[in-house]
A and B are shown apart, each in its own frame.
Chain A
């Protein structure tokens, strides 16, 4: 059912956990649909230096969470925003069609974490200038 890469990330997920004082947090999904992802990022000088996740969900949800954290690490924020769900799925050697929504969730988690970061930095900039 799943590709070798999906199973590998599912069995040995990368970057599990939380980041203390993260620069951005993304929280997407709900118990009704059965997948919940939390994604934490640490940003230094516009580059994502660390990413961690916590996920409640199926094998594909865990594997896509793991992969998306791998993909964003070391990327500029602007570049990270361009990571699509397809890119996550492709990096995992593809997903079964009914599991593509998991990659969408991973993309949304990432975008939501970056949004959170951008809002926070805007706020602190405003605080500084006011």
Chain B
């Protein structure tokens, strides 16, 4: 078999680390090893590198640098925001409003709290995965202490009306957290325009290293520390800073700020080409999520009569890496809860396929997916009992 060029279209899962990011990190894995808490020059070098990174992240999301807390990733940032506000504001109430399409990091954290005296309202979403801000308004009670709605959905790419919800939260005086892991670095995210009090982000979704993220915490927000120990991160997250990773996140943020607009435009054109091409070439296929108000890199389609994992394996054999909401790709046997919440049938949820594009995606890659996919789907449909011969 001739080795084919591998095509990675799973950037929503993780992105390759930008070589510029790797280069920026390298000195901090060797020569510049000091502990930022040390007052000698070794420590201060490391400290200034971390602070420079903080400035870059703050600039990317329009925050002040003291409002950025480094975390061990997006999941930690979400946990920190939700548990932190819940336990710091127990005196005010015990009600949390969220959605059924959140990432596990938010959903499971809310479930954890639900079993411990908190009440959680999960809002409905429409067939595109959109939350209605009016539903948020209606769900608010005098016990509500936190609203958590994701910025952009990781599976279907739908961008939520965060600014509108932010306004409602502000009027009601309720803390508002958004999981912006899929959005930061890909679409413009400015904390003041969105009216959020907390925002979670992750480095490895924007060409940075894994195991590092950040939580934006608006000045004055009352929440308990995530880690207790030393005085790092203004006592909000104790533990010696992961300086190389933080430097990587800073560099990734700087590159994102520099390239986002042009890159988003480029990806939108590739995205729409792929969506249109798939719809044209494959009968009984449907786009999941909104056609335009979606992440520039996200394509999510449901293909009738075939199951996602079998499509994924065939694509992988062709060197194309994608993702699916089918149960068969997880250990749970339940298909994507996001697609089910949007009202898709189990069959369509099992038949979903997500391509998420990135910086190294080319026109040729899209052409190759469009060339290969119809063949794979025809092969699988030929053995599907759900498609009776002749239909």
A residues adjacent to B (C-beta < 8 A): 2, 7, 10-11, 13, 16-18, 27, 31-38, 53-62, 98, 101
Contact = CB atoms under 8 A, between A and B. Distances in A.
Nearest to A17: B383
Given A13-B383, A16-B382, A34-B327, A56 B307 contact: yes
Contacts of B346: 31-32, 34
A55 B383 contact: yes
A56 B386 contact: yes
A54 B389 CA distance: 11
Contacts of B327: 33-34
Interface of B: 305-310, 313, 317, 326-329, 331, 333, 335, 345-347, 350, 382-386, 389
Given A56-B306, A57-B307, A58-B326, A98 B331 contact: yes
Contacts of A32: 346
A38 B383 CA distance: 10
Q: Which 3 A-B pairs have the closest CB atoms?
A: A58-B328, A58-B309, A54-B385
Contacts of A60: 328
A58 B310 contact: yes
Nearest to B333: A33
Contacts of B347: 31
A59 B333 contact: no
Contact of A10 (B308, B310, B329, B385): B310
B350 to A, nearest CB: 4
24 contacts: A7-B313, A11-B317, A17-B383, A31-B347, A34-B307, A34-B326, A34-B333, A34-B346, A36-B386, A54-B383, A54-B385, A55-B383, A55-B385, A56-B305, A56-B306, A56-B385, A57-B307, A57-B310, A58-B308, A58-B328, A58-B329, A59-B309, A59-B328, A61-B328
A101 B333 contact: yes
Nearest to B317: A11
Nearest to A31: B347
Contacts of B389: 18
B286 to A, nearest CB: 15
Nearest to B306: A56
B383 A34 contact: no
A78 to B, nearest CB: 27
Contacts of A10: 310, 313
A16 B385 contact: no
Contacts of A59: 309-310, 313, 328
A36 to B, nearest CB: 5
Contacts of B328: 34-35, 57-61
